[in-house]
Structure 1
Amino acid sequence: MPPRYSDTLRGRLPWVLLLLETIFILVFLFLFPQDYKFQGSLQLYPAFQDVNVMIIFGVGFLFAFLQKFGFSGVAFNFLITVVGVQWAIILESLLFNKSTDIQVIGITSLRTGLMSVFPVLISSGVVLGKVNPVQLVMMTAMELPVFAANRYIMTTYLMMNDHISMMHASMFGAYFGLAVSWAAIPTLLGNKASQENEKSGVTAELFAMLGTLFMWTFWPSYNSVLLSDHKQLRNAIYNTYFALAASTVTVFSASALLNQKGKFKMIHARNAVLAGGVSVGFTAYMLLNPWIALTLGLLAGLISTFGFAYGQGTLNVITLVHDTCGVHYTFGLPGLLGGIAYSIIILVADYRSIEILKYQAVVVFGCVVLTLTLSLVGGLLTGFLLKCKLLRPPKEWHLFHDQPYWEFPHLASHI
């Protein structure tokens, strides 16, 4: 049994959470109007609710695959979501807003705030089981301003629209998390205690697959919710569904081919099938024929499956970066593929001016470089901060284990 680890929770977490919530209340009290105003039609609510279910249910259950970290995987995801939404709305409305009008709270700000939390959840998948709740809350508080700044630079100076800037979330979250893991968490090679705790179980895998199904089902809403043009909205929904379908077929095919016994691996089924939705996010609104979306889904499924099969262990050994959920292959590489595909599609589009064409492709490539740079630098700085002893980083024998954080009545005498 791992030793007790309640001091960090009782001595730090309650006060950190209460302090943050008090600050949020004061900001909303003094800096926002004291009445809800019209900000976007409530007809947007169904799509917003789709994204809400995808992020809270989908990501939460997706992180429940560890046999001994199921409580924390689901609940900590919920905690950083609700903290992050409030912080993201404040950042987007007051610090990184292009308009000089008085900011109001409405369905549009809720939608943007919720989607801005998605990269934080992706990053938390890299460090899942290796950091305590205080560190997760601190990571949320630091990552959101960097992501908001990334979007602000894109939309203000590089003239990207809100939709495209938000589609960088998967890429940003993956590489921010990898940088945090490299800076804050020592390599787990040879750590028998953590390797034993990191195993999954049948029930845990079923819960994780449930999360995948939620995310798969609602991903078309995520890729289209920020679009206002009816034609673009329709294209994004159709193409995202086609890309997800193609990646799923590809993953099951590749998983069986890569196994000497011709069997499937659940890690492929619950992770790599989402790669199609990630890769097509940039281009889904502009594709007029499903074959490109299907091709992107196929390529993303192959990249993700081969990454899980051959890259997951190699990444840990060569770069000393431990990626608990394999978000590099679910979100990082498919996101890069989507950004590159967006540049290529712009280059081959039927434009009258080749100069405009080249300029737009360079800007798109510049946005990818900007996202990678800010995510890696921000992740490194955050990781070094999370190593602070004041935050009480968990010891090796606490990793991937619920018991230091949750009560288990039937084991009360041993905790």
Structure 2
Amino acid sequence: MPPRYSASLRGLLPWMFLMLQSIFTLVLLFFFSQEYTIERNLHRYPAFQDVNVIIILGVGFLFAFLRKFGFSGVAFNFLITAVGLQWATILDAFLFNRTDGVPAISFSSLSTGLMSIFPVLISSGVILGKVNPMQLTIMTVIELPIFAANRYIMTNYLLMNNHISMMYAHIFGAYFGLAVSWSLVPPLLGNEASEQYEKTETTSELFSMLGALFMWIFWPSYNSLLLKDLKQIQNAVFNTYFTLAASTVVVFAASALFNKKGKFKMIQVHSAMLAGGVAVGFSAYMIQYPWITMTLGLLAGLISTIGLTYLQDTLKVVTLVHDTCGVNYTFGLPGLLGALAYALLILVADYGRFELPIYQALVGVGCILLTLSLSLVGGLLTGFFLKCKLLKPPKEWHFFHDQPYWEFPNVDCHI
């Protein structure tokens, strides 16, 4: 049991949630079209449900690997998904989906809103166990407009399509979360609470592996949901499967190779096996040859495993950034690899769509720099704001523990 007294969230948290929900309802009442927009792409609803599984079940269980933070890892993920879906859909309709000048809810805005939650969930993985649900909710409210602005600049000024602009979510979420962690959370080097509670056990690791398997199975839908051309959808599905398979094989090989005892490490496997799907999201729809995507999966799996094995603890000491879930190596670095590979493929391949391939490749690099700039600056400012005492940030001795937030019938909870 965590020692010392834990501040109750009863006074502020319920009213903040009720206020947010009331605001969302009033915005839809007064500023939106009162009818849903009818679209022809409702046949993509099964893929939409697949992405639902990735976000709610997959990420939720993936974040359940801490032995004392299972309740919060799953439930807080679901909470910010419920808040973020409404806010992201409203933002998308305002910026990208207007009917006669009036924002309207369509299947496209709902799909884009659902996928826009993903960078917030990635960011929450960095600070998992170190913030309370109020701080997570405030971060969600702040991060989504910045990510929407990132996409708006890409689609309207850099002329990137909607699908490509969404694939930068992995990079944005990872580095926004790392910036929040740097400015919000004190260094945990040698911290007793961190050493005692930031541990896993067999059951929690199995739950996390289950979440990773859900995400692995349905990831082709994530990489194809916003595509409309049937040929591009087919390419995205096939290439994503090949890349995921290649990265998974490489992860098992690298995990055993880098282990002194020659054994697999579960946390490396369930974290790095998704790297291939992240990396190929940018270019999966346009690649015609599976060997290219398999090579990309090999590199992504290798980079992710090396990062988790050798870099995570080193960077924590050097940069004082604590990354609970290692999202920099599951999403950040594989996302950067995929974005650079996309720019390179435009240069070396002729798909009949790029009149100025060098210019298009430079735009791709520019999108990387734009995403990194907005995510890092936005994350730093958000982290400083979340330190506000009004939000009752948890003390270090309550990190990575469910008991400050949940009632356990068989435990005396006077904390």
Shorter-normalised TM-score: what interval?
A: over 0.9
Residue 366 of structure 2 corresponds to 366
User: CA contact under 8 A between 2:183 and 2:384: conserved in structure 1?
Assistant: yes
Aligned counterpart, 2:253: 253
- 1:194 Cα deviation (Å)? 1.9
Residue type at the aligned position of 2:229: D
TM-aligned CA distance change 1:354 to 1:28, over 3 Å: closer
Partner in structure 2 of residue 27 of structure 1:
27
Distance in 2 (alpha carbons) for counterparts of 1:401 and 1:152? 38
Distance in 2 separating the partners of 1:225 and 1:172: 19
Task: State the one-letter code of the partner of 2:6.
Answer: Y
Matched residue, 1:14: 14
Measured against aligned partners, the alpha-carbon deviations of 1:259-307 in whole angstroms (never above 9, x if no partner) come to 1111000111110000000000000000001001000000000000000
Report if aligned partners of 1:67, 1:197 keep a CA contact under 8 Å in 2. yes
Answer yes or no: is the 8 Å Cα contact 1:129–1:400 preserved in 2.
Answer: yes
For 1:113 and 1:53, how far apart are their aligned partners in 2? 15
Deviation at 1:353, TM superposition (A): 11
Provide, for residues 349-406 of structure 1, a one-character-per-residue CA deviation record: whole Å limited to 9, x for no partner.
Answer: 1278997111111111101110010000100110110111111111011100000000
Letter in 1 for 2:261: K
Structure 1 segments unaligned to the other structure (5+ residues):
none
Contact 1:279 1:297 in 2 (8 A): yes
After superposition, residues 176-187 of structure 1 pair within 5 angstroms as 176-187=176-187
Give the counterpart letter for 2:364 in structure 1: V
Deviation per CA, 1:7-30: give whole Å up to 9, x if none.
2x2011111111100000000111
Q: Deviations over 1:180-238 (max 9, x none)?
A: 00011110001012221100111000000000000000000000000000100000000
Q: Distance in 2 between matches of 1:352 and 1:406?
A: 57
CA distance in 1, matches of 2:413, 2:393: 25
Paired amino acid for 2:393: P
- Partner of 1:328 in structure 2? 328
Whether the aligned pair in 1 keeps the contact of 2:63 and 2:73 (CA below 8 Å) is yes
Offset at residue 315 of structure 1 (A)? 1.2
Q: After TM superposition, list the pairs within 5 Å mapping 1:283-298 onto structure 2.
A: 283-298=283-298
Percent identity of equivalent pairs: 69
For structure 2, list consecutive stretches of 5 or more residues without a partner in the other structure.
none
Tell me by how many angstroms 1:138 deviates: 0.4
Indicate if the aligned counterparts of 2:97 and 2:105 stay in contact, CA closer than 8 A. no
Partner of 2:6: 5
Equivalence for 1:383: 383
Say whether the 8 Å CA contact 1:44–1:107 is kept in structure 2.
no
Partner residue of 2:168? 168
Structure 1 segments, 4+ long, off by >3 Å, are: 95-101, 351-355
What residue is the counterpart of 1:208 in the other structure?
A: 208
**Superposed CA offset, 1:166-192 (max 9, x none):** 000001000000000001111000101
Residues 1:99 and 1:332: Cα distance change in structure 2 (over 3 Å): farther
Which amino acid in 1 is paired with 2:185? I
With over 3 angstroms needed to count, the CA separation of the structure-2 counterparts of 1:40 and 1:81, relative to structure 1, is farther
SS at match of 2:356: helix
Correspondence list, 1:11-410, <5 A: 11-95=11-95, 101-350=101-350, 356-410=356-410
Change (3 A) 1:354 1:147: closer
Letter matched to residue 128 of structure 1: L
Instruction: Report the residue type matching 1:94 in the other structure.
Output: F
Retained in 2: the 8 A contact 1:240–1:280?
yes
Could you say what secondary structure the match of 2:410 adopts?
helix
Number of the residue aligned with 1:412: 412
Q: Give the secondary-structure state (helix, strand or coil) at the position aligned to 1:409.
A: coil
CA shift digits 1:40-99 (9 cap, x unpaired): 432111010000001100000000000000000000000000100100011111145577
User: Secondary structure of the equivalent of 1:190?
Assistant: coil
Alpha-carbon spacing, 1:162–1:99, altered in 2? closer, same or farther (3 Å): farther
Deviates more, 1:249-258 or 1:99-108: 99-108
Q: Secondary structure at the match of 1:11?
A: coil
SS at match of 2:274: helix
> More displaced, 238-247 or 343-352?
343-352
